Amino acid sequence: MRFMGYIAQWRSAAKEALDRTAITVNFLCWLHFTSNYVCSPCHAYGVSMLPTLNVTGDILLADHLSPLLGNVGHGDLVLVRSPLNPKIRLTKRVVAVEGDTVTYFDPMHSEASQVAVVPKGHVWIQGDNIYASRDSRHFGPVPYGLIEGKVFFRVWPPGSFGLLDQ
Amino acid sequence: MGSSSFLWNCTKKFVTAAVITVTVSDRYVTVVPVRGGSMSPTLNPKTGSLMGDVFDDYVLVEKFCLWKYKFSNGDVVVFRSPTNHKETHIKRIAALPGEWYHTHDKSDVIPIQSGHCWVEGDNSASSIDSKSFGPIPLGLIRGRATHVVWPPQRIGAVKSTPPQRLCSALE
């Protein structure tokens, strides 16, 4: 009799463990889904986006649906996987899209302005602070497929909480 | 009342299954069909024949390589096309960052800049690859093809051969 009691106890414990695991897995999958297809927080720091974003690091919300729908255009702040190091992500502004002619000025390398044409399927990204930003002026136009999200909302610092004006 | 709760339960289960499938195929493994003969004879060896489309290969793509972006020469990778983000291509890595790539036709030597790689199809006659659009950023890579899983007579591992060796084996 005691043996049967143990079995029943063990079964209920196993069932509970299984239920908890299922809930956790489900939760993690939802987390993955929302952060990859809906929106996710991201942290941007550095001087390259002054004066739009602060040096100390802003917490932003990026929407991941717009790049999938092809809804990224001039002036949007985007989250881009760096073409030079795939492990890091950059926050920059889209200056030109495919087919556009860009006239840019790189104070670090030359005094004269240069002209480039953005090829098909690429975008031209630049930081707002042109004096301290490594962007398309350095590595050329980036493929649209590297865009991971469109930044639309600022969460931190609390003083500038709200939608980012494009 | 009973039927509406049954419907609700079914929807809930369906959505959960869909989300789990999306997560697994994004993070761990997925199966994709291969269209066209650019990777023949490794994949789709019979393209061009009458029944070519019916017997398209399906390959298993693992995504663990994306955690550290570590690839080796000769890996068959799936990546988003640099000219059209809606298209996905499958090609073989011919050169990795820091290497010098020797093109076949122009007898030119190109340095591969950091974060980029040179991709080429095994069937160089009918393949749109780095020869037309240049080196691609590693960030466009979506996974590494490891096995052919369909059709049944073609099940097996995809060999990771550097293209140079493949050429010399064919000659």
Q: How many domains does chain A have?
A: 1
The Cα–Cα gap between A27 and B134 comes to: 41
- C-beta separation of B127 from B47 below 8 A: no
Nearest to B26 by CA among B80, B64, B59: B64
Q: What is the pLDDT of residues A64-106, one digit of tens each?
A: 999 999 889 898 999 999 999 999 999 999 999 999 999 988 8
The residue among B30, B63, B77, B84 with the most chain A CBs within 10 A of its CB, best to mutate, is B84
Quote the pLDDT of residue B167: 46
Quote the pLDDT of residue B169: 41
Q: Measure B67 CA to nearest chain A CA, in Å.
A: 8
Which listed residue (A12, A35, A82, A92) is catalytic? A92
Please return the burial class of B164, using the count of CB atoms within 10 Å of its CB with bins 0-12, 13-18 and 19+: middle
Domains assigned to chain B: 31-170 (2.10.109.10)
Q: How many CB atoms lie within 10 A of CB B31?
A: 12
Does A116 fall in a domain?
Answer: yes
Q: Which chain A residue has its CA at the smallest distance from B139's CA?
A: A86
Q: What is the pLDDT of residues A32-46, one digit of tens each?
A: 999 999 999 998 888
Does A5 fall in a domain?
Answer: no
Does A12 fall in a domain?
Answer: no
Does A68 fall in a domain?
Answer: yes
Does A87 fall in a domain?
Answer: yes
Q: What is the pLDDT of residues B59-85, one digit of tens each?
A: 999 999 998 888 988 899 999 999 998
A48 in catalytic set: yes
Q: What is the ipTM of this complex?
A: 0.83
Sign of the alpha-carbon torsion through B131, B133, B139, B145: negative
Does A1 fall in a domain?
Answer: no
A165: left (phi over 0), alpha (psi -120 to 50) or beta: beta
Does A63 fall in a domain?
Answer: yes
Q: How many CB atoms lie within 10 A of CB B133?
A: 16
Q: Measure A42 CA to nearest chain B CA, in Å.
A: 18
CATH number at residue A69: 2.10.109.10
Residue B171 has pLDDT above 60, yes or no: no
The Cα–Cα gap between A86 and B80 comes to: 14
Quote the pLDDT of residue B24: 93
Quote the pLDDT of residue A56: 83
β-bridge pairing A89-97 and B109-111: unpaired
Q: Which chain A residue has its CA at the smallest distance from B84's CA?
A: A121
Domain that holds residue A82: 41-163
A92 in catalytic set: yes
Query: Between chains, do A121 and B81 touch, taking CB under 8 Å as contact?
Result: yes
User: In this predicted model, which residue has the larger pLDDT, B165 or A165?
Assistant: A165
Which listed residue (B38, B40, B127, B130) is catalytic? B38
Does A30 fall in a domain?
Answer: no
Please return the burial class of B33, using the count of CB atoms within 10 Å of its CB with bins 0-12, 13-18 and 19+: exposed
Q: Which chain A residue has its CA at the smallest distance from B81's CA?
A: A145
